[in-house]
């Protein structure tokens, strides 16, 4: 079998997928990043037979079949469009798009291209989430009515090394990230397990600004409580990237006959519960606690992969779609649906819960309605500035003391007008 030739754009996150591509019989032929130290780290893993670029214009001309986009969270679409125009398959890190207009442009480009587009969303492929999907698919829970998802990832802004790695300059996207936008890790597992798609969204803020030394985020919110009405009349309640309580991610799905969830604080243990009158006949007890297994031919490779093994699986699925000419599970419609929920959920949050209908980008009338909507809370490498507040308190700003500490200890200088490297994650 001829190996699929892959390029990686952005090595801060992209480098963590190197082993997954190699283990899935792909060949990495080119990488691109503006930071020389990132290229040197990649060279230590890949050697001299790979071409190394600092300029995307040169990188995109390299002969390759597919590209992993792992640049900044909110700037994938311009590069995805260029790849799709050249019929290069795209595996895009999260999120798919940062504006509704970008969602429209991405869908149109993917439909026109001969290449495949897939969102590099890994959390549905964690072991407990695959078990949740298996049980949902079995039908034993009955009609699925309600689901919850939570991605809780607090960090210590006083940790200099952490901040330098993930929030290294003042206009970094993480400092302007609304509480609804980073929602794929909480929403995607629910959509994947149930098959439901959101059609209406509402959100409320959990507002409490961080007080730590280097907390220069302009967003005042620790979390957003997001609810959606879905196309099968079910309801989801979930968070984006929340920063309260203990670290972890959890999911719960309820049907007419039972429910399943991963138990917080147990490293992936499943709780499957039925009522006495709806318990499947092959079960002795109505409540089951157990650790799921992979039941996968690549178990050893998976267990040595990042994010609980899910990094390997998402790469495998992408490459299998190319080899077998099949549709990705997280295709452009799945991906832009989540982006639209994030974007319109934030507008609901700013309006303290007003509901928004979520576009169906399969419909041209919905695309036309939203194709010029470019509102965004972010700074971009092309000079665009925020056009909408990033938090529920539009007057909130980091303190002068926090800014001074960040400039001294993190940036090393005043970088308030510096976007630095657009290729980092």
- Our CA angle for 332, 19, 110, nearest 5°, is 15
SS3 27: strand
Distance CA 169, CA 158 (A): 15
Residue 162's pLDDT is: 86
Residue 420's pLDDT is: 37
Which residue's structure tokens are 């499943």? 270
**Largest pairwise CA distance in the chain:** 67
Residue 421's pLDDT is: 40
Residue 413's pLDDT is: 45
H helical segments located in 374-419: 400-406
Residue 394's pLDDT is: 92
Closest Cα partner for 234 from 318, 160, 320, 148? Answer: 148
Distance CA 362, CA 380 (A): 28
Residue 412's pLDDT is: 74
Task: Judge whether 420 and 75 are in contact, CB under 8 Å.
Answer: no
Residue 1's pLDDT is: 62
What domains can you pick out in the chain, each with its CATH number?
Answer: 4-119 (3.40.50.720), 124-294+332-425 (3.30.360.10)
C-alpha distances (whole Å) from 247 to each of 113, 136, 150, 250 are 40, 26, 10, 10
Q: Which parts of the chain have pLDDT scores under 70?
A: 1, 413-425
Residue 417's pLDDT is: 36
The pLDDT tens digits for 51-95 are 999 999 999 999 999 999 999 999 999 999 999 999 999 999 999
Report the predicted TM-score, pTM, of the whole model to 2 decimal places. 0.95
SS3 137: helix
Distance CA 71, CA 10 (A): 5
Which residue's structure tokens are 């790849």? 83
Residue 159's pLDDT is: 83
| β-pairing verdict for 117-119 and 144-152 | unpaired
Distance CA 73, CA 70 (A): 8
Distance CA 141, CA 162 (A): 42
């Amino acid at each position: 079998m001829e190996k699929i030739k892959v390029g990686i754009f952005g090595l801060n996150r992209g480098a963590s997928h190197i082993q997954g591509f190699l283990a899935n019989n792909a060949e990495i032929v080119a990488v691109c990043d503006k930071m020389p130290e990132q290229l040197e780290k990649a060279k230590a893993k890949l050697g001299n037979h790979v071409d190394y670029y600092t300029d995307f214009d040169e990188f995109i001309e390299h002969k390759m079949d597919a590209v992993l986009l792992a640049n900044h969270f909110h700037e994938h679409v311009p590069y995805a469009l260029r790849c799709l125009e050249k019929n290069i398959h795209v595996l895009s890190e999260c999120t798919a798009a940062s504006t509704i207009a970008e969602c429209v442009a991405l869908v149109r480009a993917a439909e026109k291209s001969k290449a495949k587009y897939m969102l590099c969303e890994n959390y549905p492929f964690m072991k407990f989430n695959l078990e949740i999907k298996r049980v949902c698919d079995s039908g034993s829970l009955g009609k699925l009515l309600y689901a919850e998802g939570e991605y809780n990832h607090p960090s210590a802004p006083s940790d200099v090394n952490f901040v330098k790695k993930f929030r290294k300059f003042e206009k970094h996207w993480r400092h302007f990230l609304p509480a609804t936008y980073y929602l794929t890790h909480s929403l995607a597992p629910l959509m994947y397990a149930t098959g439901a798609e959101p059609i209406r969204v509402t959100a409320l803020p959990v507002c409490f600004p961080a007080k730590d030394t280097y907390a220069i985020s302009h967003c005042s919110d620790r979390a957003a409580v997001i609810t959606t009405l879905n196309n099968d009349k079910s309801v989801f309640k979930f968070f984006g990237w929340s920063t309260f309580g203990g670290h972890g991610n959890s999911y719960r799905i309820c049907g007419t006959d039972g429910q399943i969830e991963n138990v917080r604080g147990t490293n992936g243990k499943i709780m499957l519960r039925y009522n006495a009158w709806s318990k499947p006949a092959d079960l002795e007890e109505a409540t089951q606690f157990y650790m799921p297994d992979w039941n996968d031919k690549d178990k050893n490779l998976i267990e040595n992969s990042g994010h609980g093994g899910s990094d390997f699986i998402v790469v495998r699925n992408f490459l299998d779609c190319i080899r077998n000419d099949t549709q990705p599970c997280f295709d452009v419609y799945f991906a832009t649906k989540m982006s639209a929920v994030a974007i319109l959920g934030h507008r609901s949050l700013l309006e303290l819960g007003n509901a928004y209908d979520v576009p169906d980008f399969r419909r041209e009338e919905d695309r036309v309605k939203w194709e010029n909507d470019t509102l965004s809370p972010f700074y971009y490498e092309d000079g665009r500035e925020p056009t909408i507040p990033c938090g529920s308190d539009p007057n909130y700003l980091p303190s002068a003391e926090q800014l001074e500490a960040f400039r001294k200890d993190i940036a090393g200088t005043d970088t308030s007008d510096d976007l630095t490297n657009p290729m980092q994650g």
